[in-house]
Chain A
């Protein structure tokens, strides 16, 4: 009896150790996802006390709703531009940091700074840079005799500004991921390539990039996720405006839930966002074999 009790006690150790973390993860995140799925199948809003089961009606509705489709479209542009420009910048900066012979750790540490700043603070800085009246960018342009540009009042310029701010905010982490990949490369490969007379461009494209392709995959996942779910930067910078021109999915969801108080529709959007996230990461995992 004593023996089996002891065994049971021993066997239960890992489960006991995992209780606190599982409580948080399942209790908050798991609950959130499941409850979100449930709400999206009912009609829950503040206008009626009844909450009838409506099945997929919310999903069918949003996919016919031009506002939602506009958000989806704006999200795709936002993510696509952020990821394409972000990954090129990250690669260039990572290779430069890798090739640096002095002050490497200083610049490496400095690179990560935007990652530590809150999205709100980053947005405030970019709002200040691009403000119509006091903005540094306009003051700079006026030196060349150009007229004041109202960056945040034009739909495409506003989109440009949030993409720029987003790239500033999310690339540092991608740079460090790529740098970690570069530092894992055996340097003898470069020596061999040099002896064989490979040009610098060829070394970059035919040796470096293939060798760190899995890290490029991880960076792409990071850039896509961070951009796709970006909320903190966009809300203070443009609030989704002018009009709905910068209203990406996360902002649309927020407005739907907390301005229109339509929780069911917002939950349906939440499930769509999560499905897209899953699909995107699946594609990257397949392509880059991370």
Chain B
């Protein structure tokens, strides 16, 4: 087989791989470029002679981690994300089950109330929420952030869980009830294990929301100690004058790594759920 006929026969796959390589570079290039700079010295980024760092020094990572504030912001992010995710899961499981299994009055109106918020832009909610939380004296509190993050995660969560509960055969539930299972046992031992992929999907959505959220934390908090990681990153990269780019980039990368780890752990189970959850 000569080259020409080989190229002709595989022209589709050659084209496909050509596009995939572009996709690969397009997605990863900004990340890789940032990653390489985290090993460089502050002035080394101005040196155009080499793209790779002169030595793979971890000093930037050391500097970021040894800053007490980083730990504080990390804990803030972790705490707010965890609590709002747990709340979102509880709400989504209960609400999703109600929509999947019951016919009741106002079902349609309640469903509408749940679906419409998906088109409310977050940044525009900052004004009324700021004023509302100010009246309640909740500015600069975990409570305000947790409440708002949970609220933005719940609509999608209920929707996803409702889809997963609909997929559970009714006979299975009836069998459990015949066997004498109480409602909470039915939920805990039967329904939750079956719908675990759904719960994981809701979690990823909510974790992504909480970990990356910016407009709410920007407007609802003013004191330094309440900042989350994205807020601090914004403050770092917004500072005037000469940037210490390697340090900023290291900080940036360290905010990305935890969520990437979570994602990679559940990726297989989650990717399809994420898509189907948003499409339905």
Number of interface residues of A (CB under 8 A): 94
Shortest distance from the beta carbon of A25 to any chain B beta carbon, whole Å: 6
Are A33 and B120 touching (Cβ within 8 A)? Answer: yes
Q: Is the CB of B214 within 8 A of A120?
A: yes
A222 to B277 alpha-carbon distance, docked (Å): 13
Interface residues of A in 241-290 (CB under 8 A from B): 250, 253-254, 257-258, 263, 266-267, 269-270, 273-274, 277-278, 281
Is B92 in contact with chain A by the CB < 8 A criterion?
yes
DSSP majority for the A interface?
Answer: helix
Contacts of A239 in B (CB 8 A): 238
Question: What sequence of 0s and 1s flags, for each residue 1-43 of chain B, a beta carbon within 8 Å of any chain A beta carbon?
Answer: 0000000000011011001100110111011011001000000
Beta-carbon nearest neighbor of B238 in chain A:
A236
The answer to whether B275 and A18 have CB atoms under 8 Å apart is no
Binary interface encoding of chain B residues 233-262 relative to chain A, with 1 for a CB under 8 A from any of its CBs, else 0: 110011000010100110011011001100
Q: Are B233 and A121 in contact (CB under 8 A)?
A: yes
Q: How far is the CB of A143 from chain B (nearest CB, A)?
A: 8
- A25 near B233 with CB under 8 A, answer no
A115 to B148, CA, bound (A): 21
Q: How far is the CB of A138 from chain B (nearest CB, A)?
A: 9
**Chain B 86-104 interface mask (CB, 8 Å, partner A; 1/0):** 0100111011011101101
A188: CB under 8 A from chain B? no
Give A contacts to B, CB under 8 Å: 11, 13-15, 17-18, 20-22, 24-33, 35-36, 39, 44, 92-93, 96-97, 99-101, 105, 107-129, 131, 133-134, 136, 139, 142, 168, 172-173, 176-177, 179-180, 200, 215, 218, 222, 225, 228-229, 231-232, 235-236, 239, 250, 253-254, 257-258, 263, 266-267, 269-270, 273-274, 277-278, 281
A-B pairs, top 7 by smallest CB distance, nearest first, are A118-B212, A229-B121, A28-B151, A21-B95, A14-B102, A270-B124, A96-B19
In the assembled complex, 15 residue pairs joining A and B whose CB atoms fall closer than 8 Å, in A order, are: A18-B110, A20-B87, A20-B94, A24-B91, A36-B127, A110-B28, A114-B27, A116-B212, A118-B230, A122-B30, A131-B245, A231-B215, A232-B230, A250-B124, A278-B119
